A = this chain, B = another copy of it.
Amino acid sequence: MPNAPVDAVAQVILALAVLLAGAKLGGHLAERLGQPAVLGELVAGILVGNLDLVGVPWVRTLGSDGTIDVLAKLGAVVLLFEVGLQSTVGDILSVGVRSFVVAVLGVVTPWVLGWGVGALALPNASPYVHAFLGATLTATSVGITARVLKDLGRAQSAEARIILGAAVIDDVLGLVILAVIGSVIAAANLGTGLSYGQVAAVLFKALAFLVGALAVGAVFSPRLFALTARLRGQGTLLTTALVFCFLLAYLASAVGLAPIVGAYAAGLVLEEAHSQKLEELVRPIGTLLVPVFFVVMGTRVRLEAFAHTEILGLATLLTVAAIVGKQACALGGLGAPLNRLAIGLGMIPRGEVGLIFANLGLGLTLHGVPVIDERVFSAVVLMVVLTALVTPPALKWSLARAPRRAHAAVAATQNVQVVQQFKGSFAVSDGSTT
């Protein structure tokens, strides 16, 4: 059918084929080089998105197609739902004081440093933009660290458990910071600005949404699933879970938060009884949509931006702030016989949450100007790539300095699976091809 409406779908179908094939090849090559698959997906996206530099303009338009953009954002929602499914409210409440302190230090310090980098490198931008840029540095993506710890037989160590717990908490903290900055920027757009009291009110609203969604969900979701379990037809469990996730994502958006906050809360709330089966059922949907997100993020990187000294400088400073900022986590290890350096180094990798924040910034405007423009976005992606690349050698070096504990190797394999389940999206697989 050579008419227009059919062709619009055909274009989306072709774009999906190209994006998925690129993601798969990039992911494979990355894993061959001992890197996480998403790094390869990002780099594949960067290559695809910059083919116009070598005279192939068509593919660059993939990332700017409206439907592909929505599919990529749906991919982010599904990804955060999956990440949420891999934890429970109990996990969050039980991480322990030390993990909590590590998480708070590891969120506040990079945020402040990133804010400062923004003020330094983008002096003409609003302080809100600087604050937003700092927020992209907050959330750790622990999959790479989990893999390195496993390879070194240290997955069972106290350091590993602290890093794991802290990475779960800093997702939540990052989402709260995002909610607050988003609301502040929205108010600034209306020309009203926000007093400190109003910022506190927004912070309260964000926390209230999360706590409220988790509390109501914890009471309500078992009943919902018990009720829908009696529905006839196929796919009832998955459909119920998707409707639950989408409704919370929409509610989050309705109260002024990002949809991913609701999707993450929905994943956290779901009972462990369902969440393992659900992880299996949601995974194929993630296999379709999540690589679209990462490749599209890559296509939005403008390689020519790095020809400008100030953007290359911004990327370098952001990376330094991201790495140095997380070393504050080491302070969380004070007063115990821990390898504090390893804790700080293990928290370095950034991933999906930072990319989602930066992408939201591309869509947000402040007085008509994007909060994150495409050159700053490119710098954030480079920061994500560099933090992922720098972690494995640094962590190996740090752990080699301290003697390996006797019991570590024994239970390593078993425990690292839990670690990878927690933050699996940036995980490095064992080369399995299921």
Contact = CB atoms under 8 A, between A and B. Distances in A.
Interface of A: 1-10, 12-14, 16-17, 20-21, 23-25, 27-28, 31-32, 37, 66-67, 70, 73-74, 77, 182, 186, 189, 228-240, 242-243, 246-247, 249-250, 253-254, 256-259, 281-288, 291, 360, 362-365, 429, 431-434
Given A7-B253, A70-B8, A239-B23, A233 B429 contact: yes
A13 B95 CA distance: 32
B66 A433 contact: no
The 4 tightest CB contacts between A and B, nearest first, are A5-B363, A235-B287, A10-B253, A17-B246
A3 B288 contact: no
A32 B182 CA distance: 46
B246 A283 contact: no
Contacts of A432: 232, 234
A230 B433 contact: yes
A239 B360 contact: no
B239 A17 contact: no
Given A17-B250, A239-B291, A74 B23 contact: no
A3 B186 contact: yes
Nearest to A286: B235
A374 to B, nearest CB: 14
Contact of A27 (B229, B232, B282): B232
19 contacts: A1-B360, A1-B364, A2-B256, A3-B363, A6-B364, A12-B74, A13-B249, A17-B247, A20-B239, A20-B242, A27-B233, A31-B232, A37-B234, A228-B433, A232-B432, A233-B431, A233-B433, A237-B433, A283-B284
Interface of A is mostly: helix
Contacts of A189: 3
A216 to B, nearest CB: 17
A186 B10 contact: no
B231 A9 contact: no
Contact of A239 (B6, B12, B287): B287
Nearest to A24: B239
B433 A250 contact: no
A28 B433 contact: no
A74 B233 contact: no
Given A24-B239, A231-B28, A284-B284, A258 B433 contact: no
A24 B433 contact: no
Nearest to A182: B1
